[in-house]
A and B are shown apart, each in its own frame.
Chain A
């Protein structure tokens, strides 16, 4: 049975994907619509985290402004909807074009810098667009916008109803994972990974690393924009809060927690993050009702612990099981 992955981590991801493929039916059958909602949100964030992983994990470009693309995607649904344009192809086209342009313009400037400076410039750009939307009174300012109807794709797949939306999200996630997988193993990806480890060497092998990085940044931005488009449809309410730098920081955490530079890292990282965020407060309340408001403290400690103990995040820990299994079989 050659199609079953031979590693522990590979089998885990296989099980997770199979579970995700059937999840809506399980939750509807057991009458848990809330869990389906939680899963939708998690998967949307996983798409965004996967796009961040492409530039950060594989390319070494740590961006603290990636949530800007989520906001852009969401407003590409919200603003047309405000004018009663619900055509999904319009939303999709706008999302791709606007995200790509924003990524290109900001990338042109920020990719001239490295390390901390790159973090600061991406942060600055995302805060610029954040405050721009805060001041756009027409579209609700910092109160945000309500989207009354989801994107419509006439004569194609509908997004109406929780199950249909879930499968939109799930298939976008699958496509994203597949795309990133192909990308990093193709000629293009090798250049991106090489430039992360030794940029000067890559230049002296004849690569204009700046251009390759810029291309990578634009691809990543567009994918994250699509996550935003789905998030706008999912929540039905959008606000500049979505592109706040704190959201960008959370995305970084999801990637690092799951395993930066590994295909499935962001997915499990996001899963762990969303799960903890949801259930840690309840657990604290269970221990002692007055502790509820302090749930951030163990949350932060857990995150620190995960990063310290499991180098390579959760994926790193799973891989350790693999090497142990290999040793014991020898």
Chain B
């Protein structure tokens, strides 16, 4: 068995009296797409925030690729190859689509203490930016402001930016949120195509997406992982059905 890329052990986080993360243990092996499902308020986003470094856990340990990253800052985690996308689209609206991707390239490209050369003359970076836009099919939107393109296109841009960070582990927080059926289907095909390049931790409400993409699945309820298994076994698990899927999914 290969060594896990991400190893979470005994992770705890509470806000006042509310326990958002309750002793979570989780292993994600390289090359897998692992999905986390759970009802609203189960602590999915809190978990992602702790993994990406914007929230500091109360207890427990996060190991990534052999490094203990529990107290590492968010930018340094990105540099190690741990990138996340956002549930609420958070591209930089006043900048162009291409500028957004280029910022992401800058972010993992050494430092940006370059004070003199205008970025639109950095042809190498422009080309790289366009490559990522082509990957998500946004190349003809490159010169538009991010505020001017559609919601679905902003989601695609979000993914392009995350990919430009060259992640070893991609944390995707509801990448299909607010997308139409057709857009969702396209995004699912696209994510499936990423399987060879990177490992993905997927948080998603869209059950079709989860069941067609994920290799393994964890069910999160009230901050606790109640089951981790293959998709097939999870669908058959009575406890999971009761807690989350509901009768009509059974």
Contacts and interface: CB of A to CB of B under 8 A. Distances in A.
B116 interface: yes
A188 B75 CA distance: 16
Contacts of B116: 182, 186
Contact of B106 (A185, A187, A193, A209): A187
A187 B54 contact: no
B102 A190 contact: yes
Nearest to A184: B118
A194 B78 CA distance: 17
B83 A204 contact: yes
Contacts, number: 91
Contacts of B107: 202, 205-207
Given A198-B90, A203-B75, A204-B84, A191 B112 contact: yes
Interface string A171-186: 0000000000011011
Contact of B115 (A183, A193, A205, A206): A183
A201 B92 contact: yes
Contacts of B113: 187-188, 212, 215
B115 A182 contact: yes
Contact of B161 (A185, A191, A200, A205): A205
Contacts of B112: 187-188, 190-191, 207, 212
Contacts of B52: 204
Contacts of A194: 92, 95, 103
B108 to A, nearest CB: 5
A38 to B, nearest CB: 34
A201 to B, nearest CB: 5
B114 A204 contact: no
A202 B73 CA distance: 13
A186 B115 contact: yes
A114 interface: no
Contacts of A206: 75, 78-79, 107-108, 165
B74 A190 contact: no
Given A187-B106, A197-B92, A204 B78 contact: yes
A203 B94 CA distance: 18
A136 B113 CA distance: 39
B119 A208 contact: no
A201 B78 contact: no
A185 B102 CA distance: 13
A190 B106 CA distance: 9
A257 B79 CA distance: 40
Contacts of B76: 208
23 contacts: A182-B116, A183-B115, A185-B120, A186-B115, A186-B117, A186-B118, A186-B119, A187-B112, A188-B112, A188-B113, A190-B95, A190-B102, A190-B119, A194-B95, A201-B86, A202-B107, A203-B73, A204-B52, A205-B103, A205-B165, A206-B165, A207-B112, A209-B75
Given A194-B92, A215-B113, 15 more contacts: A187-B114, A190-B103, A190-B119, A193-B95, A200-B74, A203-B74, A204-B75, A204-B83, A205-B106, A205-B108, A205-B161, A205-B165, A207-B75, A207-B107, A212-B113
